[in-house]
Chain A
Amino acid sequence: MSEELIPFTVEERPDTGLYNAKFGIWLFLASEVMLFGSLISSYIILRTGAAAWPAGSSILNVPLATVNTMILISSSISVVFAWASLKENNLAKFRLYMFLTILAGVTFLAIKGYEYSMKFHHHLFPSNSMFLGIYFTLTGIHALHLIGGVSVNTYMLLSSGVKFRENPKRFTNRIEVAGLYWHFVDLVWIFLFPLLYLS
């Protein structure tokens, strides 16, 4: 019924060459780029304007963040494999790869949580310095995006049986869109890692 009311949920629009969800997610990601772009721009202005700035590596845990970066990049690969599994009509394989993606996301968040707890344990709070304020703001917003991605992926995994049977092509498109968002979250971290930890 809904497919009749809303066209181009599966087929590509002739004008854009994209189906609705993909067009929507790209517009959304464009706005997200502007959000993180402005935050990073603010970081640059504050940092360059400050008389003194601490080395990120002296306060933050670089090896842990390197492991986290690897985990996030690995999850980008697994989400592509999950989507490819649906293209091959292999739901079991999709579930496995999507579970791995979610696991990677949760592991990233757990490590980030551990990092935060260590900072708080050492009485390092956002109010202590401009650097810590920026660190908690940027990584906190990124973590919120990751929680969003994990929630969407979990929903897709749990409802995959029903939704894939109802309309396999539409469900595959949804996973592609969720994957695009996941790649974006990965992309943001690729910038945050050197900006905060290695500078």
Chain B
Amino acid sequence: MSDSHVSNDIKTCLTVFPLLAALILITVFVHQSHLSYNIQLVIELVKACIVISYFVHLIANRNEISNVWWLTIIFVAGLLILPLANGLNRLNGTVDTSKEIQAEKLAEHSSSDAAAGEEGEHVH
């Protein structure tokens, strides 16, 4: 790697660092402002892409190993997206879990009522 390449790397790091620091503060601000959690996730993905691209040199190393890396990232993204697709719906309230909980409570009540009824019959 040439000296100019090294100095370019340092320049990139010096540019990326304040950007990452700013994004961290923005994430905390988004959280404190009670804005959507999805915004935080998007910011995190941007931060992760910056770190992978510049610090882990994924942009600079365009060869076979980077293809292996991209493949890994695609698999992990799938691993996360599958539960996340369902999970975000629940977090945003589009999937109403309260009905399921109510149904469970009703089932519990009915079973406890039945048990109490049986006990009452035994007393009489």
Interfacial residues, chain A to chain B (CB-CB below 8 A): 15-18, 22-23, 26-27, 29-30, 33-34, 37-38, 40-41, 44-45, 47-48, 51, 57, 62, 66, 69-70, 73-74, 76-77, 80-81, 84, 87-88, 180, 183-184, 186-187, 190-191, 193-194, 198-199
Contact = CB atoms under 8 A, between A and B. Distances in A.
18 contacts: A26-B69, A30-B69, A30-B72, A37-B80, A38-B79, A45-B87, A48-B90, A62-B31, A69-B24, A76-B55, A77-B13, A77-B14, A80-B13, A186-B55, A187-B48, A187-B56, A194-B43, A198-B40
A198 B31 contact: yes
Nearest to B43: A194
B1 interface: yes
Contacts of B43: 194
Given A194-B44, A198-B40, A33 B80 contact: no
B68 A26 contact: yes
Contacts of B72: 30, 33-34
B83 A44 contact: yes
Given A30-B69, A40-B80, A48-B90, A76 B64 contact: no
B3 interface: yes
Contacts of A18: 61, 63, 65
Shortest 9 CB-CB contacts between residues of A and residues of B: A48-B87, A37-B76, A183-B55, A198-B31, A17-B63, A44-B83, A30-B72, A87-B6, A45-B83
Contact of B83 (A27, A41, A180): A41
Interface in B47-73: 47-48, 51-52, 55-57, 61, 63-65, 68-69, 72-73
A76 B19 CA distance: 14
A175 B70 CA distance: 24
B10 interface: yes
Interface size class of B (residues with CB under 8 A): 35 or more
Contact of A44 (B64, B87, B97): B87
Contacts of A27: 65, 68
What does DSSP make chain A's interface, helix, strand, loop or mixed?
Answer: helix
Interface of B: 1, 3, 6-7, 9-10, 13-14, 17, 20-21, 24-25, 27-28, 31, 37, 40-41, 43-44, 47-48, 51-52, 55-57, 61, 63-65, 68-69, 72-73, 75-76, 79-80, 82-84, 86-87, 90-91, 97, 101
A87 B1 contact: yes
B87 A47 contact: yes
A79 B26 CA distance: 25
Contacts of B55: 76, 80, 183, 186-187
A123 B65 CA distance: 47
A38 to B, nearest CB: 7
A199 B37 contact: yes
B31 A16 contact: no
Contact of A16 (B17, B64, B82): B64
A41 B80 CA distance: 5
